[in-house]
Structure 1
């Protein structure tokens, strides 16, 4: 009986030892498995990082290539536009008429005649004054306006006419000035001693100066 009890105790002890050994082995296996998992994680992360880096570099390269293509296309477009503009300019120059100077001078003459017509139209549409002093002042302003324009026309003719033509025009202009003043004096003598004598004098000067502007442009301006 005593021997059986001792045998039982020995068997239980052996079983406990075996169980304890199995538990330790299981724990060591788990620890190794966890360690292996931990060790493999950095490698996987490194691989993932490398993959992401490669993907990012590829995307950046694609973006840079796309931008370079865009700049190249824009550069080509600008080059084509510049070449077309240059071609159009050359075509415009080649198609310009050879007698452009004559057209410019003809337009200048027409422009002056149009300007004179506008000045005359302004005189007709001006408000009529009612008193003699106001009427005389208005005619003086009209005379000054046309005299200024006459001097401008005379300056243009100096540039256009030859020396001989200009000498003839100067003599003609001196005669005209004498004629203007004599005609104004003669017109005013009809109202000699009256309140409108000086008014008639300046009004005649203004009208004759206006006529002289038209005559010089029509006869001499090119």
Structure 2
């Protein structure tokens, strides 16, 4: 009987030992899981870092696109500025051309007035030569100005100017003829005719440059 009790106690002791061992194993397993969870947590920043890299790449891409947009805008601005400069240069060239011809006409007028006021002598022949020379000079300048306007004016305006010029030629000759009739049959008739032609042609040169040359 005593032996049976001793056997039972031994068996119970073995059972308790086994149960204790299982409990410790469970605790160690739980502790191991607890220790692994921080590792899992530390792995999350790696995932976040990948996202950060992606965001950084997107940021660089956006900056590159912005830089490209700014570059394109600057190029368009440069083109626009260059076009304006070219337009201003063209306007200045035209203005300079007009000023150049006005200066040329004024200098010619001064020379012709001096020639008219200082003939070689008072003979009709000498006076006719002076007026003839004046007419030739002004008529040459008129043709020169007319050629410049042919290049500058639009076709419609040039067509209108041609019509006006034909009418002006008739006006010039009729005016010269009418003025010369005052000396009809005399030595001054031809002189007056040429003198009036020269005066009207001079006026027309200034008119064309001031009114049409832009």
TM-score (norm 1): 0.56
Aligned residues: 130
- Structure 1 regions of 5+ residues with no counterpart? 1-92
Deviation of 1:161 (Å):
0.5
Alignment deviations for residues 168-198 of structure 1 (CA, whole Å, 9 cap, x no partner): 0000000000000000000000011111000
Q: 1:119 aligns with which of 108, 117, 124?
A: 108
1:175 aligned residue: 167
2:209 aligned residue: 217
Q: How does 1:28-107 map to 2 (within 5 A)?
A: 99-107=88-96
Residues 98, 176 of structure 1: alpha-carbon distance in 2 compared, 3 angstrom cutoff: closer
1:160 aligned residue: 152
Matched, 1:141 2:141: no
What is the CA–CA distance in structure 1 between the aligned matches of 2:148 and 2:186, rounded to whole Å? 41
Structure 1 segments, 4+ long, off by >4 Å, are none
TM-score (norm 2): 0.58
- Structure 2 regions of 5+ residues with no counterpart? 1-81
Deviation of 1:97 (Å):
7.2
Q: Considering only aligned residues, what root-mean-square deviation do their CA atoms show, in Å?
A: 1.9
What is the CA–CA distance in structure 1 between the aligned matches of 2:86 and 2:156, rounded to whole Å? 31
